[in-house]
A and B are shown apart, each in its own frame.
Chain A
Amino acid sequence: MNLDSKIPEGPLSEKWSSHKFNMKLVNPANRRKYSVIVVGSGLAGGAAAASLAEQGYNVSCFCYQDSPRRAHSIAAQGGINASKNYQNDGDSVHRLFYDTVKGGDYRAREANVYRLAEVSSDIIDQCVANGVPFAREYGGLLANRSFGGAQVSRTFYARGQTGQQLLLGAYSALSKQIGLGKVKMYNRHEMLDLVKVDGHAKGIIVRNMATGEVSRHASDAVVLATGGYGNVFFLSTNAQGCNVTAAYRAHKRGAGMANPCYTQIHPTCIPVHGDKQSKLTLMSESLRNDGRIWTPKNAEVAAMIRKGETDPNTVAEDDRDYFLERKYPSFGNLAPRDISSRAAKEACDEGRGIASTGLGVFLDFRDAIKRDGKNTIKERYGNLFDMYQCITGDNPYETPMMIFPAVHYTMGGLWVDYNLESTIPGMFVGGEANFSDHGANRLGASALMQGLSDGYFILPYTVGNYLGEQGVAAAGKVTTEHPAFAEVEANVKARIDKFLTIGGTESPRSFHKRLGHIIWEQCGMARSKEGLEGAIKDLQALRKEFWTNLRVVGDADGINPELERAGRVADFIEFGELMCRDALMREESCGGHFRVEHQTEDGEALRDDENFAFAGVWEYKGDDVAPLLHKESLIYENVKLATRSYK
């Protein structure tokens, strides 16, 4: 597997501009001869499809939702970072770059992160120009706020719906191109496999989820912007439909999968309430500015609270353990996501958890209300409190909120070089689906930045460069008549038939739940060698059981939610195994990956820069063959590696 990162020569700050100059251009008149497939219509996919079409390429865009506007980028709340330095508080491209590398626990590629920081300003300009109603000050200038992991105010936001507004911006740009006929949009279409011709990505096989029709689509390049794989945990803050199928199918066709064990667990989600729950809801991290996180010191008191026999408000001050304040006195309740999440898990492991399941801790505003008054707190967090009450039925002004960590974002993904091209030539990967920019941990307000940077400013250049390199003679040469399409299509159809004919007794959802349980327990917030080895065995057994005891009701001729889930769960099970292998291989703790064997005496993550400063890239070798590990060394020329400390 060729892991040439193709990082341009020259000083960090000039790499991208010199690279842009060195790239091949396609004559505007020739662009219409090329076609590009974009899978996914979120920030990365939607922006890439719109920009490529604007440049003159013929674009086909696919999404599984009924409209491109519903991609899960829409659910991002907080904001988007940019090194505009509008607040005159010392921000710069370099500082955003540095914060992102440090926040990623030094496991991201320097050149990519620098470029991200560099184009961040252009993203804001572009979004404002296409009508994103960012928050403004009275003077008419853009407002900013500060966000976790940064000491400057560089986050732009549109109320608590920044993701929605950015996505609607990209969607409107995409819609314009659809209206002009430059983008052919395929809604309710799920990519089920990648087609390679002579080693290059030349098309995809999709299923129309409304009619059941399986069809072939050929192009000169393929862009995957298919999001993250958080749903491998069954319960996550992801949308129900988010899945790894497109990325994993590409992996099976030869694309390297990098760092799948890097998953981000967000500390402030609403706890699980029962076994019927389908999804976890995030409460904004900003709540930790005023809320104090605690559990009872005594497990018996916690048990009484769980049963509803004790009102948490009556627990005396001395009986409360404000564990973040105790362990991290300087950062207190504002400790970073990974650290806060782990501390909450520890408290629950000790039997001191609250909520009906014992998996929850309090986020208490009692003192803040006493100090600042109810109205102030209402002004700051009113909408979040309302949302909490809507979901749980509890009034957080009177009784402490309950929170628990939940899977939120996945930093790992398909390996890409500086051009965002995967190990399969002609297949590009953007947004959360690739591994490139966040290392082992993502900072708040960086996901939206990366998605739009990839979509608006990077892919349109690098895809063009690839097409230019292939030459205009190659444009449109491969059609769906090529035998490779027939073969892959037959595989896809056979797999669908297989799901429908196993004739077992267990539903896809049930398998998904079992998978999630294994991954959450063994490859969640704390991982151990023993646990991971057990998980791999369990997952292999689960895979066997899945393929022999699955029951999919209905047929393949139309909408069939069971069939759709079956396909996704099948890939999740295999992917989960890869995740565990990656976590097992990485004998260190960094960012979202915490190995219990590798911690300091007081339980902090212990990174091993000497042996693990690399991206672990897995090559698929066969269904029952262990995947092969490749390493891309991460070389830091511009930042000094240091231990993160929040004490």
Chain B
Amino acid sequence: MCTLCNFVQSTIGRKILMALTGLVLVLFVMGHMLGNLQIFLGPDVINGYAYKLHHLLPASALWAVRLVLLGTIAVHLWAAVTLTLDNRKARPQGYLEDKVVQASYSSRTMRMSGIILLAFIIFHIAHFTVRIVPGKQYEEFGVLENTMVPLVKDGEVVMKNGHEIMTFNVNDMMVLGFEVWWVSAFYIIATGLLCMHLTHGFSSMFQSLGLRNGLWRKRLDRVALAYGWIVFLGFAIIPISVMTGFLEKDPTGGLALQITETVAIIGVI
């Protein structure tokens, strides 16, 4: 058998793949969270951040990054599914009385949290990236509008070749999105599950790669717990802030103005 097939077919090989993909996702989640938190620095900052994300690299590279991320999720998912099926097969009959001695709740519910997270990721991409999730504005606009605002830096509109540079109004998108109560609820629950998934996964990843011992297990478990909570709080604080009215739509950009401008542009075209 070829070395790679052997590796990929073995339980340990697939666990190593899960760990490596998990590492990528763990890092992505942290980056994503830090990015989102910029909303608290004002609409200009978060909108500027969105511009940077979209224009730092050429479009092809942006898509490559997106595909790598999707691929990572796919590998993580494939390994999880095949391993789960193998594991189910290995224990066709359970115990009448089944006690758990030391396994944590999060470690035993990785599949459940994983599946719900997957559903959330699909929803999340549909919601904020593809924008096909019907929301509050259903009757008016159908879905979250791809609204654009001028790029603002240090209070000044950034000009290029005499034109305003336009960027996504991420601030308003988030605020509008989270004003829908069930979206916020789903978001908070999902990030809660993400927290659980991470409190086991973060430390487990080191185990699967063989980079852990009894001492580091305790340390990494603590780090994982902290990491999970930080991620949870970092994400959940945004919908909470929106629901409590702490975060609002961009008062300077003016959604109405932008929409009319956009309509005007479309009209010109």
Q: Are A and B in contact, CB atoms below 8 Å, in the complex? A: no
A: residues with CB less than 8 A from B are none
